[in-house]
Amino acid sequence: METGRNYPPEYAIPANPSAPFSFRKLLRDQLRYSGYNVDMVGTKNGGTMKDNDVEATSGYVVSQIHDASKLSYKYKPNLVFINAGTNDLVHNIDTGNQHERLKSMLLDLWSNISDKTVIILSTILPVDKPEAESLRGPVNTKYRAVVSELRKQGKPIFLADLDGFMTLDDLGDGTHPTDYGFRKMAGAFWSAFQQAEDEISDPLPADLAGDSGKTCRKSPGDGVNAGSQTQRGSGYDDGTYEHDSQEMGTLMTIKSDWDRGQWFFARIFRSDRDDLLGWVENSAGNVVYALRRNDGAGKFTKISTDLDVQDNCKIKGVVFIDLNGDGLDDFACIGSDGAVYASINQGNGGGDKPPTFVYKGLWRAADSRYPQNKVRLADIDGDGRADFCGLADNGDVYVWRNGWVDDMPKYWQALGKRFEGKGMGNLDGTRFEDINGDGRDDWAWVGDQGETFLWTNHRSCGVGKEGDGLKVAWRPGYYKGKTSGPTHTGGFAKEIRNRIHFARIYGEPQDFGLLGKQDYVYMEHSKGSDGKHTFKMRVWKNKGYGGTKLKGDGNKYCDMTGNGRDDYVWVLSKGEMDFYPNAGKDFITDKDSYWGPMQKAFFKPPRDLDRRDLHLTDWDGDGKCDIVWVDPDNKNHVSVWKNNYTSGGGFSWQYLSNPAPELYCPEKRGIGFGDLAVQFADVTGNGLSDYLCLEKNGRIWGWTQDSKGSWTYIDQFFGTKGHDRANMRFADVDGDGRDDAIWVEKFSGDSFVYYNKGRKDIAGSRYHWEIQERGGPFPAYGGSYAGSCQYFPDLNGDGRADLHSIQATFPNTAVTAYNICDGNRSGDDSSEIKKPDLITPNNPGGGGSEESNSPPIPADNCKVVPDFMYTPLKRVGRSASGEDYCFAKWNKGVFIKEIEAVASSGSLRYIRVAYTDGTIEEAGVKVPDDTHHRFGTVRWDPWSDYFNVFEMHDGGFKGGVGRIVLEMSNKCGGDGNCKLDAGNYMDFPPVMQRIPRGDSDQGMLLGIRLNAGDVIENMIPMFSKARPLKVTLGEPNFTPTFEELNSKPFEERQMEIVRTSHVVYNRRADKPVEMGIDLYLQVEKGTKVNWNTQMGWESGGEIGGTIGGGMEWDIGLPEMIWAKVNGKLDVSGKWVGKKVDMNFNGGEDSEIVRTMSRVTINTVVDPGKAALCQVVAIQSKANIRYHAMHFANGDAYSYPVQGVFRDSRVTEAISECMDVNEDNKDEAAAAVVIEQSGTYCNDGTRVGDTGMSDDELREACNL
């Protein structure tokens, strides 16, 4: 029997991005596994499977679904799955009659398709909105009544009841099912299908008369996935930033009448050097700047004319920074309320004449959250224009992007929190500086003595939206050879933070194509006896390296061989190119490479050429892409290397030095990624490149080329539309032979098309670019990555631009969605049809079986792919022939912390892992130690360390795993075992396969799937998408409770009395003496949170860990209870509940410290008497277990754990002096006796006279 044209008319909830097939893929696979033929039908496409036809639109209500379902009547499906109505509840649309609207749709389906078409209807999923959820129960009850009523009428309808089976826990974000939720949803439909299968009949012939097929215009979501990653880590980078410096001595000495923080460095005359400015208030009361021009090589020339920025800004508000992206620094004045005012550098300075500054007025209005001391200006997104940054009290940085191309912002775009504070303390230390010269401002924190900590700023592919977008990949920099601590050591006198500057004194770039690095400047100050102030400008030249070149910056795609499919070319920053030929595979698995063997350096330029100026385009129309260089220093005139590739002879290049002298573009490319002044596209559709000159505002003009190689000037191809030119692309989207204009939304990666309709004078342009009737370009590609990471090559050779998305800039992995125009799609994704892992209800509402495909714990850890796990997984080795192992306990919060591997001369033979809960698992056979095998062990802290290298190859016995190489990031658990290399010896070993490890390759190893017998047959490491960054501690289950503790005797309340006391004697017989006593309490303060998975641990210890996080709990704080009884202090304590809201950043902030607390007591001692003086406090030491929630970088990941919350607090101390008498003499006898004025340690040792400072006392008493 054929279940033809299986067609869900509505799955109003779109597929979870981490589960691209949603429940439809799982359900289709179950039907195919059970022997049914399946053809999904519909006028839309969704999901990454081949047969991805569907009739579904996100956000539709039942009435809209009814209308949309009519589009697919013509396909005559014999089986319909429906999940409809969530959006009616969310928007509260006449829910009392919602079931009637649903019933009307059902009746129309039978009337227009066939009365034998089987419909399986589900109830509505839970909703994480209280108002909507309150409506769901009554509506579901009416849905059941509709099914029962129609069933009694003989209609072929069945119910998949999700109530009580699917819960909010199955919905990752409260709306969309998780991978686990989709398995349950598919299981519910499958159970209902089993009840219905006897009533399913063969489908009727589809009614496609006059149907010309699906339009060839692209729609968001209808792309077809290539099956697996189409890039897996190609290219090169320069690593993380490592600082080094060369002390250059004192370059200048300046005398001044003032020391008021008056020195500034700025690019006043040219973009590659910072000049020195001094704030001066002249005799007329106006502020000007004494100017010293930087002439290079550490030489400065005093300019006789002062610089006037047309603003009498006070020193605290002065900022020099590039506001308009022209490469020169402008002037900004930040008012006390945080409002910013601007003056623009006109760039007309030279010789002894400073440039003119024009006052523009308010640049950004005040925000009450960010007064002057919390405002920073910095270029966060790397477009050359300063953005507005507001600092939160904890150091978090919120950013607003400076929009458009004018001197003043045309608009502001909220980017959200773009940097998370590092707990450094004083916000005054926070700065943004382009230390490494890549054009993006880095975060720097300058300490009181000049020490500086650095995080470098890198472009990210993370998808976002306005308000939370243009994400930044931050990486810590360190001093050369270090893995912690500051990049700049400082170490000068205290309170010199504001005398430290970062400036391009020498401005030496790290490498070709980069901006100059910023050097370290200390304006050392001294004051002479004459009252004059002397400033020595001491400079340390920046010799640092790294953090500027990303693998993701070198990608280009073009058909280099003329076979119709675009190839992949990775271009080094200086222009050398590696070639990856398109292997012609439309669909690949994790085992396949999308590309053929790489040809390294298939093109080497004769000199260094910036890759941003090199273009791959078919210059001469022979079907093969040539290499065109546009000269940025000569109006972008072109040179060409003509591609003379032949299949037998390979590549050869013919250099054409000036093939088209008429071509030019006076525009300059920007420093931002993709901000190019020139692009090449086939606008005319004749197969030849046309030359496009892009103005900053997006207006495009240039030349077209005819078949004879002649060029025709076009005064305007494309008018300005308000799009940044960096977000404009050109590719043939609809397959008509002409390149269309694509605007890529920078935050989300969603892409919109202006369709090229050919030569026509319209709206000031010489070409017609079709837009929607309501205005604006057509939505075409749905983005899952940031706009800068979206490419539009034709990889499958059908003449239509596919969506090729770089997933992350550091590893440079990519996925591809084909833009296919072929009407109804069908076919299986693989020749091997596997049983999907469904979870079926025990009592399905519409019939079905008791079968459950849910794997048991812990094997589920290797079968379930949770949202927080990085996919696709990569297997190394051959198909399984041994025993399956699952080395994973992530569901319990337990992780691998040690791997031992042993290999013989031919294969990897043995793997042993140790977990954070102390357990061990092993697989394979451990061969004896001899000279013909490699072995090793690597250990790490899974919460703080990560893998720099995780690679394997399949050169073992019969294709099994042959070698594994691991290298950790830094401390490796503290024992120095940072590397492991276990593998076979081969003269020509296979290429090592790099295991992708999530964002920035810093994901946590969640576990390993493997198959082993005598050798390790295959391994599949599983990593989280991101490094564990935060623990949210919630819903504590304190054992015992604070109330229970209060009911216990004091000694069992997890607190203690701390006290110190001295007895002082007055030896004078005739007069009282007033005495002052300093007493010190030694106490503990701080909070430490540990977690583990075993009961009974008292302090966390090595099992578990501590990383950054936050908590908001109702906890107990100690309160002292005391009274004086018979002249003695009677002291006790109890717990008092209080809500605590606390953030901590790992080890430094989450630890217990011992401290001394000094209390001064004054008393009068009568003649011949003694007095007992004491200071008493209550010290709490709460060691209380709790349950916690752990989240990995925003991905919901929770598990129950046991932990220890050690909260050490001290109450306010009480002090008391009392005469020594018969009642308290025993207490006094234990105290230190003081008989002479002076300073004493706690043990009674006299160490000096009175008046010693705290520091002197600590040293004397060894405190």
Q: Regarding beta strands 1232-1234 and 1214-1219, do their DSSP bridges make them parallel or antiparallel, or are they unpaired?
A: unpaired
Are the CB atoms for 329 and 266 separated by under 8 Å? yes
- Residue among 1246, 1204, 906, 1223 nearest 1033 (CA): 1204
- Give the confidence band of 5 by pLDDT, cuts at 50, 70, 90: very low
- Inform me whether the pLDDT recorded for 973 exceeds 60: no
Nearest to 853 by CA among 868, 877, 835: 835
* CA dist., res. 158 & res. 169, Å (int): 26
Q: Within 10 Å of residue 872's Cβ, how many Cβ atoms? A: 15
Express each pLDDT in 1086-1109 by its tens digit: 766 655 443 322 232 223 344 444
The pair of three-digit structure tokens given for residue 959, joined into one six-digit string: 């294709």
Distance of alpha carbon 5 from alpha carbon 649, whole angstroms: 49
* Confidence at 895, pLDDT banded by 50, 70, 90: confident
Of the candidates 147, 88, 86, 153, the residue with the CA atom closest to the CA atom of residue 120:
147
User: In which band, very low, low, confident or very high, does the pLDDT at 33 lie, cut at 50, 70 and 90?
Assistant: confident
Question: What is the token pair recorded at 419?
Answer: 């940097």
Stretch 399-424: mean pLDDT? 96
What pairing do the DSSP bridges indicate for beta strands 318-321 and 2-3? unpaired
Q: What does the block give as tokens for 1091?
A: 């977690």
Query: Which of 612-616, 814-818, 1172-1176 is predicted with the least confidence, judged by mean pLDDT?
Result: 1172-1176
Q: Is the peptide bond before 1072 cis (omega within 30 degrees of 0)?
A: no
Which residue matches tokens 């600590």? 1258
Which residue, 1068, 1056, 1054, is CA-closest to 1132?
1056
Number of neighbours of residue 585 by Cβ within 10 angstroms: 18
Per-residue confidence at 1242, pLDDT binned at 50, 70, 90?
low
CA 614 to chain centroid, in Å, comes to 30
In this predicted model, what pLDDT tens digit does every residue of 1139-1171 receive, in sequence order? 555 554 443 334 455 566 656 667 777 787 777
Of the two residues 233 and 860, the one the predictor is more confident about is: 233
- Residue pair 54/19 in contact (Cβ under 8 Å)? The answer is no
* pTM assigned to the model: 0.58
Which residues are registered as beta bridge partners of 291?
277
- Distance CA(570)–CA(553), nearest Å, equals 9
**φ, ψ for residue 1050 (rounded to 5)?**
-55, -40
Torsions phi, psi for 547 (to 5 deg): 75, 20
Task: Give, in order, the Cα–Cα distances in Å from 1215 to each of 1172, 1175, 1212, 1230.
Answer: 11, 4, 10, 18
| Mean pLDDT along residues 165-174 | 77
Q: Say what the pLDDT of residue 894 is.
A: 80
C-alpha–C-alpha distance, residues 10 and 69, integer Å: 8
CA distances, 899 to each of 120, 325, 911, 949, 1084 (Å): 49, 51, 7, 14, 38
Which of 807-816, 1001-1010, 1225-1234 is predicted least confidently? 1225-1234
Please enumerate, as own/partner, the contacts of 1091-1094 that have beta carbons within 8 Å and a separation of 24 or more: 1091/893, 1091/1031, 1091/1188, 1091/1190, 1091/1201, 1091/1202, 1091/1203, 1091/1204, 1092/916, 1092/917, 1092/1201, 1092/1202, 1092/1203, 1093/892, 1093/893, 1093/894, 1093/916, 1093/917, 1093/1201, 1093/1202, 1094/917, 1094/1202
SS3 471: coil
Q: What is the reported pLDDT for 1248?
A: 78
Greater pLDDT, 869 or 12: 869
> 315-321 long-range CB contacts below 8 Å, 24 or more apart?
315/260, 315/261, 315/262, 315/279, 316/261, 316/372, 317/372, 318/264, 318/279, 319/377, 320/264, 320/265, 320/266, 320/267, 320/268, 320/277, 321/266, 321/377, 321/378, 321/379, 321/386
Cα–Cα dist 904/518, whole Å: 51
Percent helix, strand, coil in the chain, to 5, is: 10, 40, 50
Q: pLDDT band for 1034, please (50, 70, 90 cuts).
A: low
Lowest mean pLDDT among 240-254, 778-792, 944-958: 944-958
Please check the confidence at residue 402 and state whether its pLDDT lies above 60: yes
- Cα end-to-end span (Å), the chain: 87
Q: Does 944 score more than 90 pLDDT?
A: no
Peptide bond into 581 cis (omega under 30): no
pLDDT at 252 over 90: yes
What is the pLDDT, as a whole number, of residue 447? 97
Amino acid 173: pLDDT: 60
Q: What percent of the chain has pLDDT over 70?
A: 82
Query: Is there a contact between 452 and 431 (Cβ–Cβ < 8 Å)?
Result: no
| Residue 882, both tokens | 């041994």
Q: What is the mean pLDDT of the chain?
A: 84
Instruction: Quote the strand ranges of 1093-1188, DSSP E.
Output: 1108-1125, 1128-1145, 1152-1165, 1170-1184
**CA distances to 31, 138, 978, 1207 from 66, in Å:** 26, 21, 61, 60
Cα(714)–Cα(703) distance, integer angstroms: 5
pLDDT by residue (tens digit) across 263-276? 999 999 999 999 99
Average pLDDT over residues 1010-1036: 79
1104 or 186, higher pLDDT: 186
Q: What is the pLDDT of residue 1229?
A: 44
266 neighbors 275 (Cβ within 8 angstroms):
yes
Of 894, 880, 1110, nearest to 420 by C-alpha is 1110
Tokens 């509506």: give the residue. Answer: 139
CB 1212 within 8 A of CB 1158: no
Phi, psi angles (nearest 5°) of residue 470:
50, 60
- Closest C-alpha among 458, 450, 498 to residue 475: 458
Residue 1140: CB atoms within 10 A of its CB come to 13
Question: Using an 8 Å Cβ cutoff, are 386 and 400 in contact?
Answer: no
pLDDT digits (tens, 9 = 90+) for 657-714: 999 999 999 999 999 899 999 999 999 999 999 999 999 999 999 999 999 999 999 9
- Whole-number Å distance between alpha carbons of 299 and 786: 44
Residue 441: other Cβ atoms inside 10 A: 24
Would you state the pLDDT for residue 83?
A: 92
Interval 330-376: pLDDT, tens: 999 999 999 999 999 999 999 999 999 999 999 999 999 999 999 99
Confidence of residue 959 (pLDDT cuts 50, 70, 90): confident
pLDDT of amino acid 462 = 94
Helix (H) / strand (E) containing 101: helix 98-112
Sequence-distant (6+) residues with CB within 8 A of 360 are 341, 342, 343, 344, 407, 408
| Sign for the pseudo-dihedral over CA of 1060, 1065, 1071, 1076 | negative
Residues facing residue 344 across a β-bridge: 358
404-409-411 Cα angle (round to 5): 75
CB 365 within 8 A of CB 651: no
* pLDDT above 60: residue 850: no
Distance in angstroms (rounded) separating the CA atoms of residues 552 and 236: 9
H or E stretch including 138? Answer: helix 130-152
Report the DSSP pairing between strands 1202-1210 and 1073-1092. Answer: antiparallel
Q: Is the preceding peptide bond at 1040 cis, omega within 30 degrees of 0?
A: yes
The per-residue pLDDT for range 593-610, each reduced to its tens digit, is 999 999 999 999 999 999
Instruction: Compute the C-alpha angle 362/366/368, nearest 5°.
Output: 175
Domains and their CATH numbers in the chain: 2-211 (3.40.50.1110), 231-237+550-810 (2.115.10), 242-542 (2.115.10), 876-1023 (2.100.10.30), 1030-1261 (no CATH)
Sequence-distant (≥ 6) Cβ neighbours of residue 228 within 8 angstroms:
588, 589, 590, 592, 872
pLDDT band at 19; cut points 50, 70, 90: very low
